[in-house]
Structure 1
Amino acid sequence: MTQYLILLAQKHESFRKTELEALAELEHVSVDLAHHDDNVPLLYVTLECEEDARKLIRRSILARSIFEVWGRGNSLDTLHEDVKQRTSHLWPKYKHVSFKFDVISYQGSRPKEEQREIIESFSYVDFDGPIRMKNPEEVFTIVEEYKYTTDLLESKERRELKDICFGRFIASSQRDIIDQYDLKKRKYIGTTSFDAELALISSNIGLAAPGKIVYDPFAGTGSFLVAASHFGAMAVGSDIDGRQIRGTAKSNITTNYSQYNINSQFLDTFVCDFTHNPLRPSFRLDAIICDPPYGVREGLKVLGSRNAERYADKLPTRLENGDLSHLRPDYIPPKKPYHFDALLDDLLCFAANHLVDNGRLCCWMPTANEDYGERHIPTHPDMNLISNCVQEFSKWSRRLLTYKRHPRGCTSSLRPITKSTRIYKEQFRDKYFRGFAKAKDHESVEWMEKSL
C-alpha cells in the first residue's frame, strides 16, 4: 500500500467526497476517504498501486491532481528525514529522467528566493537528468499547508507551517473540461439550462459510464444528457415542454451533441408529462439524473383538468370536419397545478420501478435555509439515500440528493407504501417570492397516501 495526496478544487466542497466515493465504486478502487475535510483542499489516501491512483481521479471534476507521497512532516527537517527513510530506494529509478520541481501552498506562500532554497535542499536525491520547465518526464512537488494563530500580546494573526509534503506527480483530473462545456460557449441553451460543472459532477455521482442508459425526465435543453454522454453513457430525455425539446432547425439538443462530437451517445428525446410517462414498466434504466422544475419561473403544472369531475361524463370534442380535437397535431392539452413535493415522491416511485438493482437517482431539490429539516427529504422503501450535497446561496440552497435502488427482493425497514405525497401548506415557490422572510405560523404538514 502506498500513500497518495489528492489536491482538490476549492469549490463545491460538500460534493468532493461524494464524487470520489462514486468514482471509487465505478473504478473498483478500494479507498478510505474518512479523513476528508470540507475546509481543506488536501486529502491523503492509501491505495494499492499507481494505476488505482490514476483511475480514481481520471474523470473527476472536483479533484485537480494526485501525487505519490515521498515524504511528509511538520517542518522542512522532519520532511527530509521522512523522504530519506521512505523513498531512498526509488531515487536511482529517476536519476536520468528529465524533471522539474513545483511548490504549491495553501493558506500561505513563500517568496521565490525561499522556494528556490527549499527546492535546492533536495539535492541529496541526486537527479542527474535535464531540468525541463515544459513537458518534463517527471514533476516533483512540494505541497505546504499553513495555519494561522492569534498572538494575544500583539493582537494579530501569525502564519505557521502546519504540514509539508514532497511527492511525485501521478495524474491530473478532467477538471479542465469545465471550460469546454461552459454554457457561454454552448450553441443551444435556455433559461433553465443547468450549470455545466455541476451537471458533470452529477453525472459522476450518478455513475454515468459506457454501456449504461441515463434518463433525464426534465431534459429541457439537455444539460444532463450532454454531461452523461461525455462520460460514455447512452442518454435519453423527455420534457413536458415540446418547444425546449425540439428547439429550432439550427439550434437544438442534437446541435449540442454535434458540437462536442458525442452524437453516438444520444438515444433520443420525447415529449411527455412525467406523471404520465409512456415508458413500459419493464424498461430498465441505469441512472436517472435530473433537476425537477421548482415552479419559480412559472407555476409547476402537469397534464389534466383543474376540475376533472366536470368533464368526467363528457364526450371528446369533435370539430366541424368530424376530427377529434385532441388528435390534431396543434392540440394543446389542458394543464393543472401540481405540488413540487408530490413531484419528488412521483420521481422516487418512478425510479424504484425503472432503475436496475443498485441503479442511482440523482435529483436536485431546493430548500429554504430558514426551516430546512430532514423531514423535507423524500423517502421510499426501495430507495436508499446515500448522499445529500448542498450548494448554498444567501437564503436558500439546492441539494443534490443521491439514492441507490435496493436489490429487488431485499426487505426494507421502511413501511411498505407504494406512494406517499407530502403536501406542505407553503411551497418553495411561495417562500421564494416572499423573499424567505419568516412566516407568521410554523409550517405544518399534511400527509396523504395514495396507491398507484
Structure 2
Amino acid sequence: MPEYLILLAQTHESFRKAELESVAAYEGVEVDLSHHDEQSPFLYVTLEDDDQARRLVRRSILSRAIYEVWGKADSEAALHEDVRARSSSEFDKYKTASFKFDFISFRGSRVKAEQRDIFESFDYLGFDGPIKMRNPEEIFAIIEDYKPSFHSNVDKPRLRHIFFGRFLAYSQRDVVDKFDLKKRRYIGTTSFDAELALISCNIALTGPGKIVYDPFAGTGSFLVAISHFGAMALGSDIDGRQIRGKKNRNITTNYHQYSLQNYFLDTFISDFTHNPIRASFKLDAIVCDPPYGVREGLKVLGSRDSERYAAGKPTVLENGDLSHLRPDYIPPKKPYHFDALLDDLLEFAARNLVDEGRLCCWMPTANEDYGQREIPAHSDLELISNCVQEFNRWSRRLLTYVRKVRVAGIQDSDRPRGKRVYLEEQFRDKYFRGFSEKPK
C-alpha cells in the first residue's frame, strides 16, 4: 500500500491521535496510528490511495497537510537513492505539469542558497513544465527533521531525517483563525477556546444530518463549532442571560457572522438536573464543558448570595426574594457536586444518545489528586479517549465516550446503577486555594 506523510501541528499533541482516529472513523478510512509520537510533527501512514489520504486530513484541525511519500532517508545522498528506487515510475506522470518546490524544516533551517541547491539536485526528475509559485498543478516538498540541539549557540543542528514527496491536501487548520474568539462578535467569560471546541466536535463525529447538543451552551462556542461541521446544533443553559445576550450581540449574531444560520436548531433555558428532553428524543452526539465554578465563580447569583451559596448556606433565594435576578435565570435548587453532575451527564448520554453516538465532555483535574480521582464511568458507555490539556498545577481532560449498542429487550430502567465515592474537596475549592496549600 502507498505510504503518506501527515504533517502535524505542534500544539495540543495529546489530542492529535484521538482526532485523526475520529476523522478516520467518520470518513470510513482504515489506518494504523499506533506509532504516533507526541514529540514529532511527522506521522507516516499507509493508505489505499490518494483519495483516502485527502479524506483523512480534510476535516482535521491538528494536522497541517498530507504528502505522498516519494522518498525518505537520513541524508541527502540516501534520499536521492530512495527516490529513484521507490518513485521512478511516477516521474513521467508529472513531466509537463506546472509545479513548485516547498522547503520545510523542523528544529533547524537552511539559507535560501542551500535550499536552491537542494531543489536543483532533483533535476533527474525530468520535469519540463513551467515553475509557478502561485497555483501550480503540483507541489513537491522537501521536509527536514533535525536532532534537537541543547547548545544552540554552539552546536550546528544535525540532520536526522529528510523527506521528499508530492503534496496532496491541506487540513482545516486555517479555520482556527476564522473562529478566533478575539474576532467573534459575542463572547463571555465562559466562552470556550475556538480551536479546542473544533477539535472536540471533530472527535464527536459531528457532521451533516446529525443533531448535536450542548447542555451548558453559555455563549454558544460549541454550538458554532458543531454547525461548522454541518450538524444541527441544539443548546441549553441554566442562565438565559447568556443565551439571550445583549441588545445587538447574542448567539444568533455569531451564526450570522459565520453564515451558519441554516445549522442552528434552537436554544432553551433549563436546569440540567431537570432536563426537559424526553428519552425518546435521540441525539447523535453531546459536546460540552460542564461548569466547575472557576470562570463563572457562581456570580450569577448576585454578589450578596455568592459566598453563602458556595458554602452551602441559606440565601435570600430560599426566602423568595428574586428581585435582583433577571426573569430568565433559573437558580439551582441545591448545591451540586461537580462529580455528581458528571454522573448525571453520563446517565443522560446513555439514555438519549443513539447507538454508537458520542459524548465529549471536559473534566478539570488537580495534578495532586488525579491518580486518586476516578474517571466517571457508565455501564452503557465506553471511554475511548482521555486527552489532556496541562496548565501549571491543574489540567483539564477531554473525555470521549461511545454509546454501546443497545441489547433488544433490556430497558434502561432495568440496568443497575452504581455510585462513585466523590472526593470531599471539589476542584473549584482546590483551584481557589492554590492547590499546594492545605484546605482550611
Relative distance call for 1:376 and 1:156 in structure 2 (3 A) is farther
Aligned 1:290-369 pairs, distance under 5 A = 290-296=288-294, 297-299=296-298, 335-369=333-367
Deviation >6 Å, runs of 4+? 305-308, 328-331
- Unmatched runs of 5 consecutive residues or more in structure 1: 309-316, 318-324, 442-452
* Amino acid aligned to 2:118: I
Q: Which residue of 2 aligns with 1:213?
A: 211
Judge conservation of contact 2:269–2:328 (CA < 8 Å) in 1: no
Q: Which residue of 1 aligns with 2:39?
A: 39
Per-residue displacement from partner, 1:54-112 (whole Å, max 9, x unpaired)? 11111111000000000111111111111111111111111111111111111111222
Matched, 1:396 2:399: no
Distance (whole Å) between structure 2 residues aligned to residue 70 and residue 102 of structure 1: 14
Q: Which residue of 1 aligns with 2:436?
A: 437
Which structure has the larger Rg? 1
Distance (whole Å) between structure 2 residues aligned to residue 398 and residue 215 of structure 1: 21
Distance (whole Å) between structure 2 residues aligned to residue 70 and residue 215 of structure 1: 44
Q: Which residue of 1 aligns with 2:269?
A: 271
Relative distance call for 1:132 and 1:381 in structure 2 (3 A) is same
Matched, 1:169 2:167: yes
For normalisation by structure 2, the TM-score amounts to: 0.90
Match of 1:253 among 251, 254, 264: 251
Relative distance call for 1:37 and 1:278 in structure 2 (3 A) is same
Q: How far has the Cα of 1:438 moved from its partner?
A: 4.6
Q: How far has the Cα of 1:213 moved from its partner?
A: 0.6
Per-residue displacement from partner, 1:24-81 (whole Å, max 9, x unpaired)? 0000001111111000000000010100011111111100000000011111111111
More strand as a share of residues: 1
| SS in structure 1 at match of 2:15 | helix
Q: How far has the Cα of 1:375 moved from its partner?
A: 3.5
Matched, 1:63 2:63: yes
Q: Which residue of 1 aligns with 2:12?
A: 12
Distance (whole Å) between structure 1 residues aligned to residue 330 and residue 132 of structure 2: 66
* Amino acid aligned to 2:284: D
Distance (whole Å) between structure 1 residues aligned to residue 150 and residue 9 of structure 2: 27
Distance (whole Å) between structure 1 residues aligned to residue 404 and residue 131 of structure 2: 54
Per-residue displacement from partner, 1:232-257 (whole Å, max 9, x unpaired)? 00010000001111113421111111
Q: How far has the Cα of 1:176 moved from its partner?
A: 0.5
Relative distance call for 1:385 and 1:301 in structure 2 (3 A) is farther
How many residues of Structure 1 are paired with residues of Structure 2 in the alignment? 420
Matched, 1:420 2:423: no
Distance (whole Å) between structure 2 residues aligned to residue 72 and residue 89 of structure 1: 16
Q: Which residue of 1 aligns with 2:128?
A: 128
Relative distance call for 1:357 and 1:164 in structure 2 (3 A) is same
Q: How far has the Cα of 1:161 moved from its partner?
A: 1.2
Q: Which residue of 2 aligns with 1:144?
A: 144
| SS in structure 2 at match of 1:203 | helix
Q: Which residue of 2 aligns with 1:321?
A: none
Q: Which residue of 1 aligns with 2:51?
A: 51
Distance (whole Å) between structure 1 residues aligned to residue 344 and residue 166 of structure 2: 49
| SS in structure 2 at match of 1:385 | strand
* Aligned-pair Cα RMSD in Å: 2.8
Q: How far has the Cα of 1:420 moved from its partner?
A: 2.5
Q: How far has the Cα of 1:422 moved from its partner?
A: 3.8
Aligned 1:82-231 pairs, distance under 5 A = 82-148=82-148, 157=155, 159-231=157-229
Q: How far has the Cα of 1:150 moved from its partner?
A: 7.4
Judge conservation of contact 1:341–1:422 (CA < 8 Å) in 2: no
Q: Which residue of 1 aligns with 2:22?
A: 22
Distance (whole Å) between structure 2 residues aligned to residue 348 and residue 357 of structure 1: 14
* Amino acid aligned to 1:159: P
Judge conservation of contact 1:108–1:146 (CA < 8 Å) in 2: yes
Distance (whole Å) between structure 1 residues aligned to residue 259 and residue 92 of structure 2: 44
Query: Kindly, what percent of the aligned residue pairs are identical?
Result: 66
* Amino acid aligned to 1:433: F
Judge conservation of contact 1:301–1:338 (CA < 8 Å) in 2: no
